[in-house]
Chain A
């Protein structure tokens, strides 16, 4: 069956930026695959390269004087170019939702027009047809009176409403993959619940796979099928959400799970060693300076991502704390 072919395969993706004459790798030889219909969570601390990975996947980063994007991205078996492509906008199969809805919408156009634009450019529709479809879409993202919302400008709407508009714009292109980069971080917890609920319903009906980037492990526990944890530009653990939460294999994942306060529990949090404050690459495992179960080999050699249990990958010499 076709099912075995993953939707997205990324191999050896490296993104580096030139900073003060030096190359800094934001994403370091990252490999990742995503199944059809899956909701994959990508988590990690700030600066771990989550957003840069997403931007590279969406083709928003191009090779230039200051940026280099290397590696192969296969989408449904066909390679996606990592070079700038002016026509990409028209043939784009990946849509992205950004963190700050107010800043990612154009303040000078009405929100209705910003949704119509997608239909008109991509599908060469007439304005009238595009308008009708955009109103439908607004209804789909649970805006109760689309006719009155469409002629408004982003600043007239609340953050939650703007995020719904962003989702509508992303869906307008009927993407084969939706990348949501911290879609609810800027929102209040009640609005966040609404937006997550909406994304979940949309996923149910359209089966569009979602790559959800967040630092909130609560969101991942509730909304994702599988999870990849990033640290210093690379994936250190990947597997089904249930497996990882039940038995994290990497000490960093363990540390993350131990350091979030869970509603209703008061046991003292176990704090992890702070991230190192440097962009210089380290020899060996990138976590060894903070690792509670570091061994000699960790300082010398970078561990490979290995399948420790079926479907559960980890990049560690002592997975799960085996001594």
Chain B
């Protein structure tokens, strides 16, 4: 496991929802409910799942935008969760994030040059080299040098996402979390950004955590994929295995739900009609119990844990861990 750049151990995040003016009995939402995985140097780890399954929360905790409730995150063997903000600062240059909405994540009052200079300022990048570095960054992402003085509003969605990527690259990071980085873009631009991310990875030796709800996109860019459901990681496998031989019933449903852009392939969809509505996890058992077609007796009583089934494929399901 020397190759692991990021390792997380039983990571948890709870949000407390307070209702009303007086603090009444509080409701606790476990957004991330004890997950473990590691990301190897130079690979792209994809995280998929429905909205609300905790994939973004996980991504935010990995770059410490959000402190975890419990659990540990290691970056190159250093425990991030034990560090103070001050100790974090030198490490932050290695951990960067690209957000979903490039309209919201760029300051509208800063020009492109200022946006790209800000991380350099914060991390005291030598003054004399800054201009050169900014030009270099713009080259990386294919932005024209003439647009240096323009403001975010003057760029299109795809260009703004390029700016966001350039900003993330400014300090030569090792690890980038891309949270739905292409979801807001049209397919033609989406393809460009995906290719750009993959080229940059090769050139600069980056490691990505790629979060998306779009299985086609995740499958295209990732080496390994983790599937999340209600705060838990239910299956981890390399992307070909996951596509060819999904094990967890939820992974199967997810894959069958994607309409494939090929009229000769029939829509696998649900021969099973999943009932509508919310599916609260039973307090004791598997979180997927109420939606599962293949559930067993034990599933309502005991939580399954993530165990390796085959080479590089782990699954949390009682069907496979008797």
Which residues of chain A have a CB within 8 Å of any CB of chain B?
45-46, 142-144, 158, 160-161, 164, 188-194, 196-197, 215-223, 241-242, 245, 255-266, 268-275, 277
Q: In the complex, what residues of B have CB within 8 A of residue A143's CB?
A: 276
Q: Which of A164, A255, A264, A274 has the most CB of B within 10 A?
A: A264
9 more CB-based (< 8 A) A-B contacts, given A266-B219, A269-B194, A275-B188: A188-B50, A190-B254, A196-B259, A217-B187, A223-B267, A257-B261, A260-B216, A271-B191, A275-B156
* Residues of B214-271 whose CB lies within 8 A of A: 214-217, 219-221, 243-244, 253-267, 269-270
Of B244, B257, B277, which contacts A192 at CB under 8 A?
Answer: B257
Contact: A144 with B275, CB < 8 Å?
yes
Q: In the complex, what residues of B have CB within 8 A of residue A242's CB?
A: 263-264
Known: A193-B269, A272-B191. A158 touches B215 (CB 8 A): no
Contact: A189 with B191, CB < 8 Å?
no
Q: In the complex, what residues of B have CB within 8 A of residue A256's CB?
A: 187-188
Interface presence of B158 (CB below 8 A)? yes
Contact: B262 with A221, CB < 8 Å?
yes
B268 to chain A, nearest CB (A): 9
Q: Which residue of B lies closest to A264 (CB)?
A: B243
Contact: B220 with A274, CB < 8 Å?
no
> Closest 8 interchain pairs by CB?
A261-B220, A259-B191, A218-B259, A193-B257, A271-B192, A269-B191, A272-B188, A271-B191
Whole-angstrom CA separation of A112 from B188 in the bound complex: 41
B285 to chain A, nearest CB (A): 20
Contact: B261 with A193, CB < 8 Å?
no
Known: A221-B262, A262-B216, A266-B220. A45 touches B192 (CB 8 A): no
Contact: A241 with B158, CB < 8 Å?
no
Q: In the complex, what residues of A have CB within 8 A of residue B220's CB?
A: 261, 265-266, 269
Known: A189-B213, A263-B258, A271-B191. A221 touches B263 (CB 8 A): yes
Q: List 21 A-B contacts (CB under 8 A).
A: A144-B275, A144-B276, A189-B258, A190-B257, A192-B259, A194-B276, A221-B260, A221-B261, A242-B263, A242-B264, A255-B188, A260-B187, A260-B216, A261-B194, A261-B221, A262-B261, A269-B220, A271-B188, A271-B192, A272-B192, A274-B159
Whole-angstrom CA separation of A190 from B253 in the bound complex: 7
Of A45, A158, A191, which contacts B187 at CB under 8 A?
Answer: A45
Contact: A190 with B274, CB < 8 Å?
yes
Interface presence of B189 (CB below 8 A)? yes
* Residues of B168-193 whose CB lies within 8 A of A: 186-192
* Residues of B48-101 whose CB lies within 8 A of A: 50-51
Interface presence of B10 (CB below 8 A)? no
Contact: A263 with B278, CB < 8 Å?
no
A292 to chain B, nearest CB (A): 13
Known: A189-B215, A190-B253. A259 touches B187 (CB 8 A): yes
Q: In the complex, what residues of A have CB within 8 A of residue B260's CB?
A: 218, 221-222, 262-263
Contact: B254 with A189, CB < 8 Å?
yes
Whole-angstrom CA separation of A274 from B156 in the bound complex: 9
Q: In the complex, what residues of B have CB within 8 A of residue A258's CB?
A: 191
Q: Which residue of A lies closest to B257 (CB)?
A: A193
Whole-angstrom CA separation of A67 from B62 in the bound complex: 49
Contact: B267 with A222, CB < 8 Å?
yes
Known: A164-B276, A188-B51, A222-B263. A197 touches B269 (CB 8 A): yes
Of A46, A218, A273, which contacts B186 at CB under 8 A?
Answer: A46
Contact: B258 with A45, CB < 8 Å?
no
Interface presence of B145 (CB below 8 A)? no
Q: In the complex, what residues of B have CB within 8 A of residue A46's CB?
A: 186
A169 to chain B, nearest CB (A): 16
Whole-angstrom CA separation of A193 from B186 in the bound complex: 21
Whole-angstrom CA separation of A245 from B214 in the bound complex: 21
* Residues of B302-316 whose CB lies within 8 A of A: none
B6 to chain A, nearest CB (A): 24
Interface presence of B195 (CB below 8 A)? yes
